[in-house]
Amino acid sequence: MTVDPRPIPVPDLDTAPYWGAARGHELRLPRCPACSTFVFPPKPRCPRCLTQPLEWVRVSGRGTVRSFVIMRDTFIKHFPPPYSVAEVELEEQPGLVLYTNIIECDVNDVRIGLPVEVTFEDRSPEVSVPQFRPRRKT
């Protein structure tokens, strides 16, 4: 496997389960066991009912582009433009969003309301990054 030259995320105590699941090509997010609210970015307790600890559960990885921008200039080394940065709302919960790239798609085809699904980019043998692509027909 060739090592991807792009920056590699560094997990911390709160995000280690997220990155560990991603390494196995699974999208897992923290959810409150008491009120079933998903909490992302991860926090030590549920902001709705204050329950702790949260449980990490696998989510579908399906969502919709809620907002996006096309980057047409080089802002970060090894991210050649153009590329999209999108806010994706997951189907598990209204307001549950991840900020991500839309890949496997021409940037001119990205639009608000685009149905998307998670895919994973292996950036090193230890790190896979969740990204999103247009949803494939099943």
pLDDT band at 68 (very low <50, low <70, confident <90, very high): very high
Q: Which domain holds residue 136?
A: 60-138
Q: Is the pTM value of this prediction over 0.75?
A: yes
Say if 4 falls within a structural domain. no
Say if 7 falls within a structural domain. no
**Does 7 have pLDDT greater than 90?**
no
| Residue 29 shares a structural domain with residue 72 | no
| Average pLDDT over every residue of 66-92 | 94
| Residue 138 shares a structural domain with residue 74 | yes
Higher model confidence: residue 64 or residue 124?
A: 64
pLDDT band at 24 (very low <50, low <70, confident <90, very high): very high
The encoded tokens of residue 97 equal 């969003």
**Does 117 have pLDDT greater than 80?**
yes
**What is the DSSP pairing of strand 55-58 with strand 128-134?**
unpaired
Tell me how far apart the alpha carbons of residues 47 and 49 are, in angstroms, rounded to a whole number: 6
| Residue 93 shares a structural domain with residue 75 | yes
The encoded tokens of residue 110 equal 């990205």
Taking the mean position of all CA atoms in its chain, how far away is CA 77? Answer: 21
- When divided into structural domains, the chain yields a total of 2
